[in-house]
């Protein structure tokens, strides 16, 4: 707002809402939930509120930007950190066995429950295959790119000059420098090693004994991923939504 114009405005005081705010509220009210209920019910709840938090993170049904839209749902509370997924990933994708080189890892948070039990929370993390990937945006040689056919953020190892800018740009710390390849490496949903060869699951999801990692194509309406993301009363969240990267790895507790 122009500060000169603002200074000429009449003081609206502090006891009532400024007219600007009132106008905003009305605008929000016009996007009514009545539309979602076939127009039969009129309510002044905003669209965003009606869809809940999910509206921010779950892609709208039918609006997937890729030919195949691979995604993963992680049922976080089922993870017991047995790390079979990590072993399977290293074997399948030849990831060197060092603590700071991983395509997927499991984070741990130690808590004490209300009843006094020591209880850990385990959270598997991997590349989120973002729809607006910050790593792709910063790559000076276009060695990393968003694959239009699969929605996977891929690496062209030959083009990588090892500047590691993508590593600092990634909000999820999901990239590492592979000394064997002399290029940055990252999770690609096992596209080269499994999915392109006809497998339906990534190495990590196939190795999981507790079905924590559900992998699939969002466009497959009979698929589990579609089912999890489009069940209305289930809470779905993503990591670091504030970055606006629109990740394709979703978390839930059921």
Partner 1 sequence: MKRRTNNFLALLCILTLSTLLITANNALSTDQGSNEKYDEDTYGPAERIEFHHPAKQTFFDHPVHTLALGLECDSCHDGLFEMEAGAAEANDDFNMKSLAEGKYCGACHDGTTAFDANSNCGSCHTAPEDTIYFTKPVTAVIFDHTSHSGLGIGCEECHSELFKMKIGDAETKADFTMKYIYHDAKEVKYCGVCHNGEIAFPSTSRCNVCHIGVKGYNRAKGKTTGNGEDAGHH
Spell 170-186 as b/e; 16+ CB within 10 A means b.
Answer: bbbebbbebeeeebbbb
Q: How far is the CB of 113 from partner 1 (least distance, A)?
A: 7
- Give 83 or 199: the residue with its C-beta nearer to partner 1: 83
Region near partner 1 per CB under 8 A, out of 22-30, 57-65, 84-92, 241-249: 84-92
- Contact at 8 Å (CB) between 176 and 100? yes
Q: What count of other Cβ atoms lies within 10 Å of the Cβ of residue 151?
A: 23
On whether the CB atoms of residues 234 and 225 are closer than 8 A, the answer is: no
Rounded-to-integer distance, Cα 241 and Cα 96, Å: 30
The one segment of 103-111, 163-171, 218-226, 229-237 that binds partner 1 by CB under 8 A: 103-111
Contact call for residue 7 and partner 1 (CB under 8 A):
no
**Which of 113, 149, 222, 242 contacts partner 1 by CB under 8 A?**
113
List the one residue from 35, 41, 55, 121 that touches partner 1 (CB under 8 A).
121
Catalogue the E-assigned strands of 137-208.
Answer: 144-146, 153-155, 175-178, 183-186
How many residues bind partner 1 (CB under 8 A)? The answer is 29
Ramachandran angles phi, psi of 216, nearest 5°: 180, 180
Location of structure tokens 């969002």: 218
Kindly state the smallest distance separating residue 235's Cβ from partner 1, in Å.
17
Cβ at position 175, least distance to partner 1 in Å = 15
For partner 1, the closer of residues 62 and 116 by Cβ is 116
Q: Which residues bind partner 1 (CB under 8 A)?
A: 77-78, 80-84, 86-87, 90, 96-102, 105-106, 108, 113, 117-122, 209-210
């Amino acid at each position: 707002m122009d500060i000169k114009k603002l200074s000429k405005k009449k003081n609206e005081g502090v006891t009532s809402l400024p007219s600007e705010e009132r106008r905003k509220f009305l605008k929000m009210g016009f996007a009514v939930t009545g539309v979602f209920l076939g127009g039969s019910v009129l309510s002044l709840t905003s669209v965003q509120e009606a869809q809940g938090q999910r509206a921010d993170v779950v892609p709208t049904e039918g609006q997937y930007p890729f030919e195949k839209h691979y995604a993963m749902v992680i049922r976080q509370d089922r993870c017991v950190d047995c790390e079979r997924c990590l072993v399977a990933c290293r074997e399948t994708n030849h990831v060197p066995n060092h603590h700071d080189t991983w395509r997927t890892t499991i984070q741990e948070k130690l808590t004490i429950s209300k009843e006094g039990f020591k209880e850990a929370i385990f959270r598997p993390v991997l590349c989120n295959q973002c729809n607006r990937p910050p790593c792709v945006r910063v790559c000076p040689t276009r060695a990393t790119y968003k694959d239009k056919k699969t929605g996977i953020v891929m690496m062209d190892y030959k083009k990588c000059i090892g500047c590691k800018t993508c590593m600092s740009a990634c909000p999820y710390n999901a990239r590492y420098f592979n000394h064997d390849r002399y290029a940055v490496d990252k999770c690609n949903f096992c596209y080269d090693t499994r999915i392109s060869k006809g497998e339906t699951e990534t190495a990590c999801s196939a190795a999981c004994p507790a079905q924590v990692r559900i992998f699939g194509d969002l466009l497959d309406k009979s698929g589990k991923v579609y089912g999890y993301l489009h069940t209305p009363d289930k809470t779905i969240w993503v990591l670091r939504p504030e970055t606006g990267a629109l990740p394709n790895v979703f978390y839930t507790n059921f």
